[in-house]
Structure 1
Amino acid sequence: MAPQKTISAAAWAGLFAMGFLWGCSFLAVAILIREVPIYWVVAGRVSLAALMLWTYVLLKGLPVPSFSRYLWRFILVGALTSAVPFLLITWAQHHIPSGLAGILNASTAIFGVLFAALIFADEKLGFRKGTGVALGVLGIVAVIGPEALKSFDLTSLGQLAMIAATMSYGVSNSVGRILLSELRPEVAAAGMLTGAALVALPVAFVVTGAPPLTLKTESWGALLYLSIMSTSLTYIIYYKVMAAAGAGNTSLTTLIVAPVSIALGAAVLGESLPPQAYVGFGLIALGLLVIDGRILQRLRRREAA
């Protein structure tokens, strides 16, 4: 096994910042959907985020690719990484608590590993990763609960929508690696969000008409938070942390997202989750740590000592 990069103090700060910012996004969505149709939540989020990221790219003087060459790639990857999962998550939060959405979102890394193993020869699953994926899947089953299979209602559909969103994220990681790997990460992110906006805006207009503009202050705040803090800023932090600490370490931020979303859902929205949700999150977290591999390495060192 190749040695993993160590995590510096700055990288740890970035991991916790991303976890907090992404964890808060579920509360922001819960606030925004009270007043804004889900299609415009997604369209507004990706459009403003794309604008912010292109501003960052231009201010940094990064090379901008030819749109005639990359447009279809931006649209495809943007749909998979933003437009589709954001829509599924936003719809799901009409029917499940924000904390539960945060827990199910933690399975993103599980599906990312699984799809990468299916697509790339250098991403073989192996026993360790396979065990981690299996634990993650058991965690998902525990969160949803066996009763969901007996009474298939909107809550069950909301949970399945969250799983579909994380699967879309997982596929998008592999597709993005194939189609956009030659671009600077910040430019690829700006392009993906532009592609997502090109998908989400026409759909929002066709399905719901013009966007609502007379919103409460808290709704405007939630939209700006989703666009600027939870999407644009986190993309910038994400790629800086990945460069410093590696992809494996960066994926650990999903272990921070769920506790933040649970705490905010309980404190602000008065949500309470069943015990099975916490058991499921424990299994998903254990699966991620097994995939990460360092716990097993330390156990082997202790046995050898």
Structure 2
Amino acid sequence: MNAKVNLTMGPVEWGILILLSSVWGGSFFFVEVAIHEVPPLTMVLVRVGLAAIAMQIALPLFGLRMPTDWKILRAFLFMGFLNNAVPFSLIVFGQTQIASGLASIFLAATPIFGVLVAHFLTDDERITPLRVFGVVFGFGGVALMIGNDLSAGFSGTLIGQLALLGAALSYAFGGVFGRRFKGMGVQPAQTAAGQVTASSILMIPAVILVDRPWELPVPSGTTIAALIGLALLCTAFAYILYFELLKRAGAMNLLLVTLLVPVSAILLGVTFLGESLAPSHFAGMGLIAVGLLAIDGRLFRSRRVKQV
């Protein structure tokens, strides 16, 4: 049985949410900087590998150590697959085809999938009529963004967009699966360390077979700096925030972070990478935003209270 969570967020939870969204928005920027010199699977391994080393060093600072119970270790492995190995690989591949700001918008669809996943796999995050409304609007926004590319056939742009949607679906499953760590008595820092360590182990064979990194040229200093930022800031630190918010506020509240991530991602992309988005992308993001607000429900509840 899943442990109960507080579905109403207070100031602390909102602060964690905003900080996490800003940090994760930067991950799209770092990927865009490094993708020209480092292939996707190798980038993912460097990201989770450095994060795993940092987290293992940091655990004693929290007065913690890695769990040794096989049930928990097996959960780490599955969490690393759902929440790191699969989505990180799909995101980096997607960004080889589309701009970082647009990639972040597609990841905003995560809670749309999360509503459906949580409804079938949890006891206390059931779907409601308002959330159905949110799902419809959210998928409408996605359809608006990929409509032209879908009608044109399987171009690189469409494949990149579908990869991002696959990452969003994987994140949705990961957010729901990760709820069980609270019931196991695993602290957020332990869960973060466990999943990035597990995903590092999962990525090693794929990198050896596909990328053969020992044959790649040494990346530039800028790329190395981007990889370090991606690993330490956007992964190690971000996942401590992630699991803390998951423990405090539940899977659906956690997945709302993807509503805010595009803000920082788009600002960084436009300011430093010269990216631009089409009007249909902003319109699609608008529909997704309406859907996420409906899924969250707080705005609608506050309006009803004021009208009483």
User: Percent of pairs identical after alignment?
Assistant: 36
The one-letter code of the counterpart of 1:222 is A
- CA–CA separation in structure 1 for the residues paired with 2:103 and 2:199: 21
Partner residue, 1:167: 169
1:194 is matched with: 197
User: Distance between the aligned counterparts of 1:17 and 1:55, measured in 2?
Assistant: 23
SS of the counterpart of 1:52? helix
Match of 1:20 among 19, 22, 45: 22
Task: Give, in whole Å, the separation in 1 of the partners of 2:249 and 2:191.
Answer: 20
Secondary structure of 2:224's counterpart equals helix
Matched, 1:230 2:234: yes
Cα 1:223–1:230 shift into 2, 3 Å: same
Deviation, 1:179, is: 6.8
Question: What is the match of residue 264 of structure 2?
Answer: 260
Structure 2: runs of 5 or more not aligned: none
Cα-Cα RMSD: 2.2
CA 1:72–1:251 in 2, change beyond 3 Å: closer, same or farther? Answer: closer
- Relative to structure 2, which stretch is displaced further, 25-34 or 60-69? 60-69
What CA distance in whole angstroms lies between the structure 1 residues aligned with 2:82 and 2:170? Answer: 6
Structure 1 unaligned blocks of 5 or more: none
Structure-2 change in CA distance of 1:113 and 1:289 (3 Å): same
- For residues 30-71 of structure 1, give each alpha carbon's deviation from its aligned partner in whole angstroms, at most 9, with x where no partner exists: 111100111110001011111112222222122431164433
Is the CA contact (8 Å cut-off) linking 2:112 and 2:292 kept in structure 1? Answer: yes
Task: Tell me the equivalent position of 1:71.
Answer: 73
Whether the 8 Å contact between 2:79 and 2:195 is mirrored in structure 1 is yes
- The answer as to 2:53 corresponding to 1:51 is yes
Change in CA separation of 1:189 and 1:154 when aligned onto 2, cut-off 3 Å: same
Contact 2:149 2:158 in 1 (8 A): no
* Shift of residue 302, structure 1, vs aligned partner: 2.9
Shift of residue 181, structure 1, vs aligned partner:
4.1
Q: 1:295 to 1:149 in 2, by over 3 A?
A: same
Tell me the SS of whatever aligns to 1:145.
helix
Contact 2:106/2:165 (8 A) holds in 1 = yes
Structure 2 distance, partners of 1:26, 1:33, is 10
> Corresponding residue for 1:218?
222
1:7–1:249 Cα contact (<8 Å) kept: no
Task: Report the TM-score, using the length of structure 2 for normalisation.
Answer: 0.90
Among 186, 207, 212, the alignment partner of 1:209 is: 212
Q: Displacement, 1:149?
A: 3.1
For 1:150, which of 149, 152, 174 is the aligned residue? 152
Q: Distance in 2 between matches of 1:199 and 1:122?
A: 32
Q: How far did 1:161 drift?
A: 0.2
C-alpha contact 2:176 2:251 (8 A) present in aligned 1: no
C-alpha distance 235-279 of structure 1, shift in aligned 2 (>3 A): same
The reply to whether residue 42 of structure 1 matches residue 39 of structure 2 is no
Alpha carbons of 1:156 and 1:203: their partners in 2 closer, same or farther (altered >3 Å)?
Answer: same
Residue identity in the other structure for 1:109 = P
The match for 1:280 is: 284
Distance 2:36 2:135 in 1: 35
TM-score between the two structures when normalised by the length of structure 1: 0.91
> What is the rounded CA distance, in whole Å, between the counterparts of 1:262 and 1:223 in structure 2?
19
Q: Do the aligned partners of residues 213 and 225 (structure 1) sit closer, same or farther apart at CA in structure 2, a change above 3 Å counting?
A: farther
Moved more, 30-39 or 250-259: 250-259
Distance 2:59 2:72 in 1: 16
Give the 3 Å change call, closer, same or farther, for CA 7–43 of structure 1 in structure 2. same
* Equivalent residue letter for 1:57: L
Distance in 1 separating the partners of 2:115 and 2:229: 29
